[in-house]
Structure 1
Amino acid sequence: MSKKTVGSKYEYELSNKLGSGAFAEVYKGKNKMTGEVVAIKVIKRTLLEKYGDEILNQIHQEINILQKLMLSMRKTLCPFINKIYECLETTNNIYIVLEYCNQGTLLDKIKKQRKLPEDEALFVFFQLVQALDFICDNNIAHRDIKPENVFIKDGIYKLGDFGFAGQKSLYNTHLGTYPYMAPEFFNSSSYDGNQVDIWALGLLLHEILFGEIYYIGNSQYEVSQKILNKQYTLGAQHKCCKEIQDLLPKMVEKDKTKRITAKQILELPIFQKFKNDSRYLNIEAQERQFWELFLKNENNQTEEDLKKASKDEEEKQKKEEKEKQMLAQEKLQNEKQQKRDQICKAISQNIEIINEMRDGMKIIIKLCEFLKENFNEVCRYDIFYILKQGYNQYHHLKEKLDACKILTKEDHIKFENFDNEVWDQFYLDQNVQSLIGDIECERNQIRKEYISQFNQLNNRTSKEYNNYLLEFQSVGGLDIDVGIPEKLFLEQMASTINVLNCELTIQSDNKIQQLIKKAIIWIFAVAQFSDLVSGRKVDIQKFLRCIENDQVDEMKKCLYSN
């Protein structure tokens, strides 16, 4: 394995890469003098050239801010900031040596657990509020608080990645991550960095408590509009204690002048219990020990002390490595992987089933197109009724997906009894989000067609069948989301089938006979529209193929007898 050295104190191996970005790679390394594990960020100057001086200045600003915070921590302990140990620059690279966080990020934890128990979420939040209060006292704003920028070391949560951080009173550069950006990013020419950090931290607390990103959409524009116009509220599904119910709206407050501060949050009674919590006291004790050792090393500690620290760290590393290699741990990892694979497979199955439901709805809408093309004079009102029922099926599915309600066999015959963990992951899947957007587009298109058909029929009825106008308007004017009353719909479909059957007996043209037969079978399938979409009465995929290929006799075979 290729070993690299950084200055006289640090080393890393190329095989121990932790991650990479546009112009930097991060490796797990080691302080050769103390044996402490560190994270070494390697920034290649050749990759910086295409970005110009601006990105280089931003990197130096991040380093300066971290070094200032490091100096401030010597006077005021704050274990909740990802520490910088050293920065070294060579002709080819910039090396930033950082505190190594061995438990990943808060985002990793959310992906595994989705949401945290209330007490744990509050303890995590309590740590991050202290980090925010600390950087506020140092006139620093983070400006990109989100789960992936919160790192975890031995159960301690640390605010990191200060790449967007700044150090002044007001800012006018609009940056960050959309779901966590405050309204003033979009409606003001300048903003207070500490106020936008409070907004973002409030939304992060919401996410770890309830397992959802509050402001989310299909595009950055949609997200920004929700941030500007959608009021933050907690619904019945957001179960939490009264103190949290009071706190969150004060953080996610659109009026920045009314937003609560980090210091005010720390004074709230709900957080006082943590100050005497054994977990917190232990964190403080560890932090004091760290600085004692750090300053001792900095002040040329003896070689004997260095050897002892190195030996202790080496023994600790060997113990951890041995534990990782234990069979029980390996088995646990395999089980987790199997579970992830099962969830991915189940999500794919769910998507396939929902797409089949869409195909069932397309059968309904395609019937309208077929009747309009071949039997428009006879079936004007049928087209209108069928269109409304088709829209209703789309609306029913879209509402369930929007509300993250678990679909069941009542929705589609092929749905299995997937557990809640599958559905929790299902609604976070990007493919599912895209699918929901497609369904919304299709639903809106049908709505437009429905309105157009209604206007045409309304004009025609008022001119030619005025005595029938009130009855038509009472049916057509019903809320489109609830569809045509089932009894009325079945009567209309049965009447149309009878008319077409009569026409079939007197029609001698073979081509027209086939069209009529196709219409009758198709209308019969759509008459039971709920059973059609669920797959209980029709082989949806085969029926669609028969429609496309004009296989009229085969269409009838697709109808299930039970």
Structure 2
Amino acid sequence: MAKEEEDDKLPDKDVAKEFYAKYEPKEILGKGISCTVRRCIEKETGKEFAAKIIDLSTDPDSGEQAVRQEIFILRHVAGHPYIIELQDVFESNTFIFLVFELCKNGELFDYLTTVVNLSEKKTRYIMRQVFEGVEYIHSRGIVHRDLKPENILLDDNLNVKITDFGFARKLDPGEVLYDLCGTPGYLAPETLRCSMMEDAPGYSFQVDIWACGVIMYTLLVGCPPFWHRKQMIMLRNIMEGKYSFSSPEWADISEAPKDLIRKLLVVDPNHRITIKEALAHPFFQTVQMWDQDIAPLKHSLRRDSHRFSRIAHLALKENLPLSTVGRKFTRAQNRKL
């Protein structure tokens, strides 16, 4: 895209004077139907950020409501080291600017597709941070509902940053949800049950714990536990909790991570392990030198440190419930590891 064409897509400075006074927008990092994400520089400090520029004119009612809910949740969970930080918000009649910290090491998904799978030590390093971040989110009454490697960033120090709260909801004590949303391969059985049974009991925070199990399985062997080219078989596998450790990739993996995954991927959410119990599991009790364990990961990622964070992918996800499971499964299959 020519520079002139990029510049044409920037909102007129008259509609966002406060944003332009503080930040200088740079190249596009990603685009969606109603928003664009750009790298931007804070003029006073020279620090880099990622600005998500949302055009409200494409969906003036529900679009603005969804953005305001995400802003509320981002502010509600702010301050934790493993949660993406919303730095600034600017509003006009037609645009909302969300300014996020910029994580130059990109998505965990990107790294995983490069190396195929992670060692037990690297998985332990990543998953401990993921669990601690999710534990904090839940302590604030928030259920994320779309945890996956694409929604986990790695910052400049190779620490986890959970992002994309477009599907997240704040729950009152005892409240349950019934709507079907998220990414198919990471959906918990109780979420799918809500779309298939009129008398489904609903779901709550435990769906995030299930997703952590799927993420952990995927990190260790490079493929998700329930994926199948036939989407109905994949659905049935999830509903039945049908997966295995029989592939050759599991041969050299110890019993501790397998045991934790078994406790995470329990079909009945009432019998699923809690996050507190997961963090106390023997898999996380191994004494090790963290810097030494993560050194190869840091080295490999820093070779690509010139790349800016793909927060675009995370920020541009459409915050819409699944209208049909089939369409989302097709998209998931196209992005399979």
Question: Which of 28, 42, 64 is the matching residue for 1:31?
Answer: 42
Q: Distance in 1 between matches of 2:223 and 2:85?
A: 30
Q: Distance in 2 between matches of 1:120 and 1:432?
A: 22
Q: Distance in 1 between matches of 2:266 and 2:336?
A: 30
8 Å contact from structure 2 (residues 108, 154) kept in 1: yes
Amino acid at match of 1:245: K
8 Å contact from structure 2 (residues 229, 333) kept in 1: no
Q: Distance in 2 between matches of 1:243 and 1:267?
A: 12
| Structure of higher RCO (CA pairs closer than 8 Å, 6+ residues apart) | 2
8 Å contact from structure 1 (residues 142, 193) kept in 2: no
Match of 1:250 in 2: 263
In structure 2, do the counterparts of structure 1 residues 218 and 231 end up closer, same or farther at CA, with 3 Å as the change threshold?
A: closer
8 Å contact from structure 1 (residues 69, 138) kept in 2: yes
Question: Which of 54, 76, 92 is the matching residue for 1:68?
Answer: 76
The alpha carbon displacement at 1:272 in A equals 3.7
Q: Distance in 2 between matches of 1:232 and 1:219?
A: 15
Match of 2:153 in 1: 151
Amino acid at match of 1:95: F
8 Å contact from structure 1 (residues 123, 274) kept in 2: no
Which digits, 9 at most, give the CA deviation of each residue in 1:537-561, with x for residues without a partner?
Answer: xxxxxxxxxxxxxxxxxxxxxxxxx
Q: Distance in 2 between matches of 1:88 and 1:432?
A: 36
SS at match of 1:86: strand
Match of 2:144 in 1: 142
8 Å contact from structure 1 (residues 150, 160) kept in 2: yes
8 Å contact from structure 1 (residues 143, 193) kept in 2: no
Amino acid at match of 2:64: L
Q: Distance in 1 between matches of 2:335 and 2:169?
A: 36
Tell whether 2:31 aligns with 1:20: yes
Which digits, 9 at most, give the CA deviation of each residue in 1:166-194, with x for residues without a partner?
Answer: 01131111111111101111224343332
Q: Distance in 2 between matches of 1:24 and 1:274?
A: 45
Match of 1:160 in 2: 163
In structure 2, do the counterparts of structure 1 residues 205 and 8 end up closer, same or farther at CA, with 3 Å as the change threshold?
A: same
Unaligned 5+ runs, structure 2 = 195-199, 294-301, 307-331
8 Å contact from structure 1 (residues 83, 99) kept in 2: yes
Q: Distance in 2 between matches of 1:80 and 1:142?
A: 14
Amino acid at match of 1:68: H
8 Å contact from structure 2 (residues 260, 281) kept in 1: no
Tell whether 2:142 aligns with 1:172: no
8 Å contact from structure 1 (residues 37, 100) kept in 2: yes
The alpha carbon displacement at 1:432 in A equals 11
Amino acid at match of 2:119: P
The alpha carbon displacement at 1:273 in A equals 4.8
Q: Distance in 1 between matches of 2:167 and 2:188?
A: 15
In structure 2, do the counterparts of structure 1 residues 120 and 224 end up closer, same or farther at CA, with 3 Å as the change threshold?
A: same
Report which of the two has the higher share of strand. Answer: 2
Q: Distance in 2 between matches of 1:47 and 1:122?
A: 43
In structure 2, do the counterparts of structure 1 residues 88 and 208 end up closer, same or farther at CA, with 3 Å as the change threshold?
A: same
Tell whether 2:52 aligns with 1:41: yes
Amino acid at match of 2:32: G
Matches within 5 A, 1:155-554: 155-168=158-171, 169-188=175-194, 189-235=200-246, 237=248, 238-239=250-251, 240-273=253-286, 277-278=290-291
Which of these two proteins has the greater Rg computed from alpha carbons?
1
Amino acid at match of 2:189: P
Q: CA RMSD in A?
A: 2.8
Which digits, 9 at most, give the CA deviation of each residue in 1:119-142, with x for residues without a partner?
Answer: 111111111111111101111010
SS at match of 2:39: strand
The alpha carbon displacement at 1:230 in A equals 4.8
In structure 2, do the counterparts of structure 1 residues 429 and 229 end up closer, same or farther at CA, with 3 Å as the change threshold?
A: closer
The alpha carbon displacement at 1:220 in A equals 4.0
Aligned-pair identity (%): 28
